[in-house]
């Protein structure tokens, strides 16, 4: 697939109508600082569409980028090595768990 357009769509902290709009989602998951955001930038051919950082735990939202007006790339917060307070670490973990185990179940129910 050739990527011809890519825009930031939304940064969500949890339940949000964007997850129910029927547009397919391709999620990037992995430990903090492994290069998830960098891979997205490489794939779309833009240097700073997804914010990258050498500081593990900088991504604190579920960021969605609309690709070719047809699907989302979903840049998830990393887990594991985030150099952030434990409370924030817990909330990042809860966000990723919610994305995988709750939001997608809601989608199935809708269709
Ligand atoms: N050496 C090297 N560093 C990379 C590479 N990809 C990303 N990085 C760096 O690793 C750090 C974390 O990258 P980022 O994409 O923000 O990781 P994320 O937390 O998984 O989204 C940043 O400082 C990047 O510049 C790579 O292929 N090689
Ligand atoms: Mg990132």
Give residue-wise pLDDT tens across range 60-85.
899 999 999 999 999 998 877 667 88
Domain boundaries, position 49: 6-110
- What pLDDT was estimated at residue 52? 92
φ, ψ of residue 41 to 5 degrees: the values are -60, -40
Residue 1 lies in a domain: no
79 falls within a domain: yes
Selection from 62, 71, 54 nearest residue 28 by Cα: 62
Pocket of ligand 1, candidates 52, 55, 58: which has the most ligand atoms within 8 Å of its Cβ, to mutate?
52
CB atoms within 10 A of CB 41: 19
**Distances in whole angstroms, Cα of residue 79 to Cα of each of 17, 30, 53, 98, 111:** 24, 7, 15, 13, 30
* C-alpha of residue 2 to centroid of ligand 2, in Å: 23
- Residue where the block lists tokens 């269709």: 111
| Residue 54 placed within a domain | yes
Task: Count how many domains the chain has.
Answer: 1
15 in a structural domain: yes
Q: Is residue 33 part of a domain?
A: yes
Please state, rounded to an integer, the average pLDDT across all residues of the chain. Answer: 89
Does 47 sit in the ligand 1 pocket, CB within 6 Å?
A: no
Q: Provide the CATH number for the domain around residue 24.
A: 3.40.50.300
57 lines ligand 1 (CB under 6 A): no
> pTM of whole model > 0.95?
no
């Amino acid at each position: 697939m050739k990527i011809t357009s890519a825009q930031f769509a939304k940064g969500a902290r949890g339940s949000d109508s964007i997850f129910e709009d029927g547009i397919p989602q391709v999620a990037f998951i992995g430990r903090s600082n492994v290069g998830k955001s960098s891979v997205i930038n490489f794939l779309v051919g833009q240097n700073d569409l997804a914010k990258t950082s050498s500081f593990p735990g900088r991504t604190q939202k579920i960021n969605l980028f609309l690709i070719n007006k047809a699907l989302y790339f979903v840049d998830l917060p990393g887990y594991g090595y985030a150099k952030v307070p434990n409370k924030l670490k817990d909330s990042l973990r809860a966000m990723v768990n919610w994305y995988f185990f709750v939001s997608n179940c809601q989608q199935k129910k809708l269709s």
